[in-house]
Structure 1
């Protein structure tokens, strides 16, 4: 086998593997357990909204997913394996990003990475194509996940205060629909935007739970679903909703305090993971700037390529394990 082809396959494969490992470690999945999701789904199925007709939903999605470029839209409809899941991820960002626009962004990243690797560093075709595909698939996916996670965390940061605002409105004698309007006016973003959407849904005839379940599609944590379940149970069984929501707000605030305490206690391990994972790349870059001929020997020799691939694999595995060790479910 040609040395250049072998080099491209080894480096491309190692880069893909390390990228996937680091992406899983840093981005990860939802921190909720499967049993929690299943219980919430079972409880919510009895109180969830009745969805619109399939024809209306599909028509709206075709219009929303269009990017304006016919070729891109055609490829998206044929090649995207799970459009509903991707659409849900895009909605969590709070921005009106269609699937077509997201796919176009992926193609732009692929082209940019290929041009940089090919014409700036002079790598071969196989390596540049592999790196371009990895960058085009992973970087937009990570960016969307980061934006969605940042928005959800910002929402949950002020969520107990929003519940207390709802409690004060109920204790003042306001119906829950008017209390939700108050949250939409006085709460910080993005809570205000989401509750304004609930208020608008109530005005057009939807129920409170139905509007809140629509928000729950974009706000995943069970803390928000606890609010919907509490309202649903109170409507069926009766009771003092203000006291129930006040207790919920207090519980959510204590949970957040525990999470922050755990984050502070595990900060040393996370910092070690960042330092250990980034130090080899920093040293490689500094040595390349100081003496590129010295580094080129490692790249030109096939044995050096094997060593780079093994090093990347071990670094990625170690960083992934360290990040998983400092993740706790509360």
Structure 2
């Protein structure tokens, strides 16, 4: 009983310490970046970003450690972080991920007193930042797609009123909310720096990673090569996007029951374990004190994860 209590206290202490340090680093890292800094990260303007002398804190330490990360990995993550609207560099993300892996390894080692327990926990520490990144990308993409139809109307009406394409895009950047206004403003700034319009539009598509935006960019590139009425093209794309959003909402309504069933099935074992731990604390203790119990827990978690992924695949219908 005393040993179990000491393990619980150790676990709570480690988690609390990690949460304070990790959230502190994230709080310092998630500062808004200027458009120039984003351009330096994404375009060929790779000039080093100067750090103010007043920022002698964890953010500066994180930036220095990020420079030690492999350049191939960090540059690949730069675009992924921009797609998720996360204002840190790829090297800094790798440092945070490595810190999380080490901490989860220590937590697993403290709880199980076995090396394989620490390895299993470290795998979880490796996956969590990636899942968070994918979630941030999905959120930004969803917001962008929901705003794109209104932005197309602004573009088309501006072109009909006699504005140029750059003036119409500037109208979108001024009238629309984030994230679409920030992305269009960044594209305009690229053009101001001398980037070709076609290249800036391709960069816009790469930054967002939306198939709906790919359709728009492709149509604009074809129009610039073949000519035609761009306003009419944008209105046709607007109608297509509106119909697509309507169909997606209908599918989301029809699959709501399946999604809720998947969430309940995934959460049910954890809920039952929590109730049993309160009613009879010693009932599940054998699972955490025996190798077979740990193997059963690992198998159950893996099966839960696979089942949840299968349910998500079934109810996810691409439009």
TM over 0.5: yes
Does 2:124 correspond to 1:135? yes
Does 2:152 correspond to 1:163? yes
| 1:44-59 matches, cutoff 5 A | 57=44, 59=46
Aligned partner (choices 73, 94, 99) of residue 103 of structure 1: 94
Aligned to 1:37: none
Q: Is the 8 A contact 2:83 2:140 kept in 1?
A: yes
**Alpha-carbon deviation of 1:177?**
0.9
Aligned to 1:72: 65
CA distance 1:93–1:316, change in 2 (3 Å): closer
Aligned to 1:197: 186
CA distance 1:224–1:74, change in 2 (3 Å): closer
Aligned to 1:300: 289
Aligned to 2:227: 238
DSSP 3-state at the match of 2:178 = coil
- Judge which range, 311-320 or 96-105, deviates more: 311-320
**Alpha-carbon deviation of 1:61?**
7.8
Separation in 2 of the partners of 1:125 and 1:302?
Answer: 10
CA distance 1:131–1:201, change in 2 (3 Å): same
CA distance 1:239–1:73, change in 2 (3 Å): closer
**Alpha-carbon deviation of 1:152?**
1.2
5+ residue gaps, structure 1: 1-55
Separation in 2 of the partners of 1:206 and 1:302?
Answer: 61
Does 2:115 correspond to 1:126? yes
Structure having greater relative contact order (Cα 8 Å, sep ≥ 6): 1
**Alpha-carbon deviation of 1:265?**
0.7
| 1:194-233 matches, cutoff 5 A | 194-233=183-222
Aligned to 1:176: 165
Q: Is the 8 A contact 1:181 1:196 kept in 2?
A: yes
CA distance 1:117–1:303, change in 2 (3 Å): closer
Deviations 1:64-108 (A, max 9, x none): 9x964588346512xx76444322211112232112221221133
5+ residue gaps, structure 2: 1-42, 52-58
**Alpha-carbon deviation of 1:139?**
1.0
**Alpha-carbon deviation of 1:253?**
1.0
Separation in 1 of the partners of 2:45 and 2:118?
Answer: 35
Separation in 2 of the partners of 1:126 and 1:60?
Answer: 43
Deviations 1:234-286 (A, max 9, x none): 22222111111001011011101111111111111111111111110111122
**Alpha-carbon deviation of 1:117?**
4.3
Aligned partner (choices 235, 239, 242) of residue 250 of structure 1: 239
Alignment RMSD: 2.8
Separation in 1 of the partners of 2:190 and 2:66?
Answer: 30
Q: Is the 8 A contact 2:78 2:89 kept in 1?
A: yes
**Alpha-carbon deviation of 1:313?**
3.4
Separation in 2 of the partners of 1:173 and 1:57?
Answer: 33
Separation in 2 of the partners of 1:291 and 1:95?
Answer: 44
CA distance 1:243–1:201, change in 2 (3 Å): same
Does 2:260 correspond to 1:271? yes
Question: Matched residue pairs, number?
Answer: 271
Separation in 2 of the partners of 1:84 and 1:63?
Answer: 18
TM norm structure 1: 0.74
Separation in 2 of the partners of 1:198 and 1:295?
Answer: 57
